[in-house]
């Protein structure tokens, strides 16, 4: 049995410039690595109309339950201006005990740690009682149309059971061991367009300025407190991300004004219940101001919570033992692919420190890589006891 080194595998994965939606060979490379460990690997490519094709990987060793799955993504965000980096972002380098490269933090190194942990586990437990699987996508940093969402649908149709899933996103704010994610807030985006009547600036009584209506709507939506949060979630929050009029003239009242917003919401709401609240306010004010309106919504996932149970408490105990830090169970942060996986399996999220993700000179401590491999290995040993 080949023992895989997490630092070496991290470097190998980072060398693939797999900026969403480009795979650049990362999925095929990982598939070959897992095949050598005895995994049955299936590369799944999905494509929706008007979207780029995405390669995904589902790999499994073992035919019986329980099936413990690791989920992650090989795609990364663009590096930005390469001249701002101290190295080529796709030619990883170790400096002062830190591995630098795009994806070092989010999240190729976490994948490497789990593969390394599995290789060690299989060396001592070749005939373990259950299955281990990998669900790896190339579409987490993008629109998430042809990635984990489609793989979950594929697994459902095949009646492939996952008993528990570890999502390897970087969950720790400052030190490895600080935080386990047991849920995530939902995300709802929207575009509001208000139509008034265009006219001369000197004769406002002959026009209907849509900006006035839009400003009133924005003010009302921001003033409305959605909730106070609860034991597991912080309060839901609406933020406007842009206001756009497209008017270059100083002497013309525009015909239209637009605004974009996003709501990060807890489990006291659903996307549909929030749509009704927003639409009601927009409709009421638009009618009063005698303007027409249009709202387009895009839901990026519902809020969810994995009720802490045996596996979560087991992972918490192992993380504390190895890192000497008692991890907090949290639902903070953005969305992740756990929002899709939770439909077929309970999840926890635990990975590296997230301080440098998406930044110039993204990096990870070599010590953290070794510790994370130990944590993942200990979880495998305990889970299949």
Catalytic residues: 75, 140
Q: How many Å apart are CA 75 and CA 20, to the nearest integer?
A: 5
Cis ω on the peptide bond leading into residue 67 (within 30° of 0)? Answer: no
Structure tokens at 228: 């106070």
Q: How many Å apart are CA 214 and CA 61, to the nearest integer?
A: 56
Q: Does residue 139 sit in helix, strand or coil?
A: coil
User: Pairing relation of β-strands 256-265 and 186-195?
Assistant: antiparallel
Q: How many Å apart are CA 227 and CA 303, to the nearest integer?
A: 14
Question: Rounded to the nearest 10 degrees, what angle do helices 310-323 and 366-383 cross at?
Answer: 140
Instruction: Say which residues have a Cβ less than 8 Å from residue 7's Cβ, sequence separation at least 6.
Output: 94, 99, 112, 366, 369, 370
- First vs last C-alpha separation in the chain: 21
Structure tokens at 330: 């949290």
Give rounded-to-5 percent helix, strand, coil for the chain: 30, 25, 40
User: Tokens 């206001």 label which residue?
Assistant: 243
Backbone torsions φ then ψ of 375, nearest 5 degrees: -65, -50
Q: Under a CB-based contact definition with an 8 Å cutoff, are residues 87 and 151 in contact?
A: no
């Amino acid at each position: 049995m080949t023992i895989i080194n997490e630092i070496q595998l991290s470097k190998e994965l980072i060398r693939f410039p797999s900026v969403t939606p480009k795979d650049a060979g990362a999925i095929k490379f990982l598939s070959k690595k897992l095949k050598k460990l005895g995994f049955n690997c299936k590369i799944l490519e999905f494509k929706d109309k008007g979207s780029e094709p995405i390669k995904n990987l589902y790999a499994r060793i073992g035919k019986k339950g329980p099936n413990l799955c690791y989920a992650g993504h090989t795609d990364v965000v663009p590096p930005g201006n390469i001249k701002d980096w101290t190295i080529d972002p796709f030619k990883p380098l170790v400096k002062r005990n830190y591995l630098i490269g795009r994806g070092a933090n989010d999240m190729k190194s976490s994948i490497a740690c789990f593969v390394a942990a599995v290789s060690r586990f299989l060396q001592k437990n070749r005939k373990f009682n259950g299955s281990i699987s990998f669900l790896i996508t190339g579409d987490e940093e993008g629109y998430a149309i042809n990635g984990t969402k489609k793989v979950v649908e594929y697994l459902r149709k095949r009646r492939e059971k996952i008993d528990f899933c570890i999502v390897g996103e970087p969950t720790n704010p400052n030190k490895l061991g600080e935080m386990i994610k047991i849920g995530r807030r939902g995300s709802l985006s929207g575009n509001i367009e208000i139509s008034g009547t265009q006219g001369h600036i000197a004769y406002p009584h002959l026009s209907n300025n849509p900006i006035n209506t839009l400003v009133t709507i924005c003010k009302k939506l921001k003033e409305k407190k959605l909730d106070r949060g609860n034991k597991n979630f912080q309060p839901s929050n609406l933020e406007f991300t842009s206001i756009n009029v497209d008017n270059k003239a100083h002497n013309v009242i525009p015909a239209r004004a637009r605004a974009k917003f996003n709501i990060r919401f807890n489990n006291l709401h659903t996307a549909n219940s929030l749509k009704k609240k927003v639409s009601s306010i927009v409709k009421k004010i638009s009618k009063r101001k005698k303007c027409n309106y249009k709202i387009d919504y895009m839901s990026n996932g519902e809020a969810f919570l994995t009720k802490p149970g045996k596996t979560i408490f087991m992972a918490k105990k192992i993380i504390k033992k190895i890192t000497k830090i008692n991890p907090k169970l949290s639902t903070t942060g953005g969305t992740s692919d756990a929002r899709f996986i939770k439909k077929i399996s309970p999840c926890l999220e635990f990975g590296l420190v997230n301080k440098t993700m998406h930044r110039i000179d993204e990096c990870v401590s070599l010590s953290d890589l070794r510790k994370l491999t130990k944590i993942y290995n200990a979880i495998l040993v305990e889970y299949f006891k």
